[in-house]
Amino acid sequence: MKKQSRTYTRLLTAIVGLFLVGMFSCQKKEAEPSTRELLVGKWWCDYTSTMTDQYFDSDGTFKQRYKGVEYLGKWELSANNEKLNFPVLEGKPNSDYYYEIGEIKQNKLQFTVRGDSRSIHTLLPCSTISGR
């Protein structure tokens, strides 16, 4: 009888273990948004007003505005998602202007211009800054 009880206990433990493994392995994890998804479709503003406000569109175009003047151009994200390149600024070909992305989240874009670590810029969604 004792041997039979151990067998049932082992069998029950195995069934419960398999059930738990199956239950947790089937849960979907929320996919983290990509850098591109975090970047596009909203105005990014510098709360200190020293940097241009920026809007990155999904079609590769961008707008910048500063003190009522708007500038246009094209942007592209590097393959490793660490650089934001600007091949066209104001209709002119450009090869050396880029942002090196330090951090990007739903509510924060932090970067350096041309990799100059002495000048770190932080932009926030304009909708989170009062008066914008």
Asked if residue 125 has pLDDT above 90, the reply is: yes
pLDDT at 50: 82
106-30-60 Cα angle (round to 5): 45
- pLDDT, tens digit, 9 for 90 and up, residues 10-39: 655 656 555 545 555 566 677 889 999 999
Please indicate whether residue 2 or residue 48 has the higher confidence score (pLDDT).
48
Q: What tokens appear for 128 in the block?
A: 């989170």
Q: Are 97 and 114 in contact (CB under 8 A)?
A: yes
For residue 89 the two structure tokens come to: 């600024």
Q: Integer distance in angstroms from the first to the last C-alpha of the chain?
A: 78
| Averaged pLDDT for residues 44-64 | 91
pLDDT digits (tens, 9 = 90+) for 68-90: 889 899 999 999 999 999 988 77
For the chain, list the domains and their CATH numbers. Answer: 35-128 (2.40.128.370)
Residue 110 reports pLDDT greater than 90: yes
pLDDT at 114 over 60: yes
Beta bridge partners, 63, equal: 55, 72
88 forms beta bridges with 74, 93
Q: Is 103 left (phi over 0), alpha (psi -120 to 50) or beta?
A: beta
Contacts of 51 (CB under 8 A, 6+ apart): 121, 123
pLDDT band at 105 (very low <50, low <70, confident <90, very high): very high
Tell me the DSSP string of 31-79.
PPPPHHHHHTTSEEE-TTSSS-EEEE-TTSEEEEEETTEEEEEEEEE-T
The pLDDT of 40-52, averaged and rounded, is 89
